[in-house]
Amino acid sequence: MGFFKDMIAVFQKKELKFLEYRKEADDVYSFMFEKPNDLSWNAGQYGLFTITHKSIKNNTRPLSIASAPEENVIRITTRISDSPSDYKKALLELKQGMTIKMGGPIGKFSLDDSSPSLLIAGGIGITPFRSILKQVAGGGNSARPIHLLYMDRHLFKDELDAMAEQGVLTVTYVSSRDALEQEIDQFAAQHKTSGNYYVAGPKSLVDSISSYMNKHNVPKQRVKKDAFFGY
Ligand SMILES: Cc1cc2nc3c(=O)[nH]c(=O)nc-3n(C[C@H](O)[C@H](O)[C@H](O)COP(=O)(O)OP(=O)(O)OC[C@H]3O[C@@H](n4cnc5c(N)ncnc54)[C@H](O)[C@@H]3O)c2cc1C
């Protein structure tokens, strides 16, 4: 059922009007688009975003929707290096009022509010979690407790820290793989098999963290993954 729903959403592309972009870090930008009235998504889902204002090869990328539906804006946040792809160059050329297309929303990377949750983000993998946490902060989901482990970068740090102060989550910024594994072990020991685990980020990182958890008796069915290929 979910697969067919996703497929229909992919083909019903929506036109999104560009509003503005914001620099989040030296090489990370958020792009905001007007939210059409007839478009909604589950926090944590992604869209297929297509460049239409110029002709480029490979004009579509899957990108997480980094905003919660309640924010009333579609936000994508992406890494743009010194030698960007044609796709990323085209994103940077957007001017207010220009449009792109979005297929979707797609995916099942959403929070199950019945259990303690450990969110594990690697770098740019914070994007689906920003959406999920903003939704929880807005009262849209009662899941508790939520602990976020954030490795490699500190994107959205001010927002994450503010939500932590509100009691939405606890957050640990980890700087090494060892520290990350220790935190995972601690959560697993505390919540035994009742916890849920969510991992998002570059595919290689998601695969290796999942395999670590697998070897350390975290039940596979308790782990949800959002693997970003292309990094
Ligand atoms: C579900 C999902 C959510 C994502 N969310 C985000 C997000 O929120 N923010 C974000 O920045 N990125 C996200 N990504 C990754 C994004 O789609 C791009 O791949 C990434 O941003 C790199 O794009 P690029 O244009 O810079 O580089 P690209 O031109 O896409 O190339 C980067 C490298 O990846 C390789 N590559 C390209 N396509 C594929 C493929 N299909 N399979 C394997 N290798 C490939 C290329 O050969 C190249 O070496 C997500 C990916 C997925 C699957």
- Rounded to 5 degrees, what angle do the CA atoms 161, 197, 132 make? 45
User: 118 to each of 60, 112, 204, how far by Cα in Å?
Assistant: 31, 11, 19
Q: What is the mean pLDDT of residues 198-222?
A: 95
Rounded to the nearest whole angstrom, what is the distance from the C-alpha of residue 191 to the centroid of ligand 1?
34
The tens digit of pLDDT for each residue in 57-106 reads 999 999 999 999 999 999 999 999 999 999 999 999 999 999 999 999 99
What's the CATH fold of domain 2-106? Elongation Factor Tu (Ef-tu); domain 3 (2.40.30)
Torsion 164-196-125-61 (CA) sign: negative
Query: Which tens digits make up the pLDDT trace of 39-50?
Result: 999 999 999 999
Residues 101 and 94: their CA atoms lie apart, in Å, by 13
> Which residue has its alpha carbon closest to ligand 1 atom 11?
78
pLDDT in tens, 13-30: 999 999 999 999 999 999
Centroid of ligand 1 to alpha carbon of 186 (angstroms): 32
Nearest CA owner, ligand 1 atom 5: 63
Look at ligand 1, atom 47, and give the residue with the nearest C-alpha. 230
- pLDDT at site 141: 58
pLDDT of 139 higher than 80: yes
Looking at ligand 1, which atom is closest to the CA of residue 58?
A: 29
Nearest-atom number in ligand 1 for the CA of 88 is 25
Q: Is the CB of 143 under 6 A from ligand 1?
A: no
Q: Is the model's pLDDT at 1 over the cut of 60?
A: no
> Is pLDDT above 90 for 210?
yes
3-state secondary structure of 35: coil
In sign, the C-alpha dihedral spanning 50, 51, 53, 55 is negative
Tokens (6 digits) for 3: 């697969």
Specify the CATH architecture of the domain 117-228: 3-Layer(aba) Sandwich (3.40)
The domain ranges of the chain are: 2-106, 117-228
| Alpha helix positions (H), the chain | 2-11, 86-92, 127-137, 157-166, 177-191, 203-215
Cα(61) to ligand 1 centroid in Å equals 7
139 contacts 81 by C-beta, under 8 angstroms: no
> Which residues 6+ apart lie within 8 Å of 48 measured at CB?
10, 60, 61, 62, 102, 103, 104, 106
- Amino acid letter for position 123: G
